[in-house]
Amino acid sequence: MTPDQLQVFATEYTAAWCSGDPERVASFFAPHGTLSINGGPPAVGRAGIADSARGFMTAFPDLVVTMDGLDVGARDVLYRWTLAGTNSGPGGTGRRVRISGSERWTMDATGLVETSIGTFDAAAYQRQLDGAA
C-alpha cells in the first residue's frame, strides 16, 4: 500500500473504533490476524479481535478514538492514537479516561493488518479508573 492508501486505511480504522461495531474493527485484520495489547496474549482471528474491541466498547459506551499520527516504515506501520471515554459500562467506575498509545502493524499482501502489537501506559489508565489521575 502507498502512504496515501495507508492514511485512508488508518482513518477508516479509527472510525471503526468509534462506530460501536466490534466486527467493523475486526474487518481491518486478515482472517487469521492477531492483536496483542501490552504484551498480553494475542486475540487471534477476526472473532477474537472483535471480542477484544467489544470489551473496550462495552466498558466505554461513549468511546472516541482519534488518530494522532501514522508513521510508515519499510516493513511496518506505526498507528498512534488517543482513546477517551467514560467507564460507564457494566461494573464500570463512572470515571472518564483519556490515554494515548500506538499499534505497530505488519500488513499482509492484501492490505489488511496481519499483526498488531498495541501499547499504552497501563498504570496511567488504572490511575484514571481509580480516580487518582
Check if the beta carbon of residue 60 is closer than 8 Å to that of residue 87: yes
Query: Cell 472518564 appears where?
Result: 96
> Cα–Cα distance between 36 and 48 in angstroms, integer?
11
Single out the residue of 113, 94, 121, 133 nearest to residue 17, CA to CA.
113
Question: What domains, with CATH codes, occur in the chain?
Answer: 3-130 (3.10.450.50)
Q: pLDDT tens for residues 35-88?
A: 999 999 999 999 999 999 999 999 999 999 999 999 998 889 999 999 999 999
Mean per-residue pLDDT for 11-16?
Answer: 98
Give pLDDT tens digits for 103-129.
999 999 999 999 999 999 999 999 999
Pairing status of strand 29-37 against strand 96-107: unpaired
Residue from 80, 93, 88 nearest 128 by CA: 93
- The answer to whether 116 and 105 have CB atoms below 8 angstroms apart is yes
Tell me the CA distances in angstroms from 64 to 14, 41, 67, 85, one per residue in order.
9, 25, 10, 6
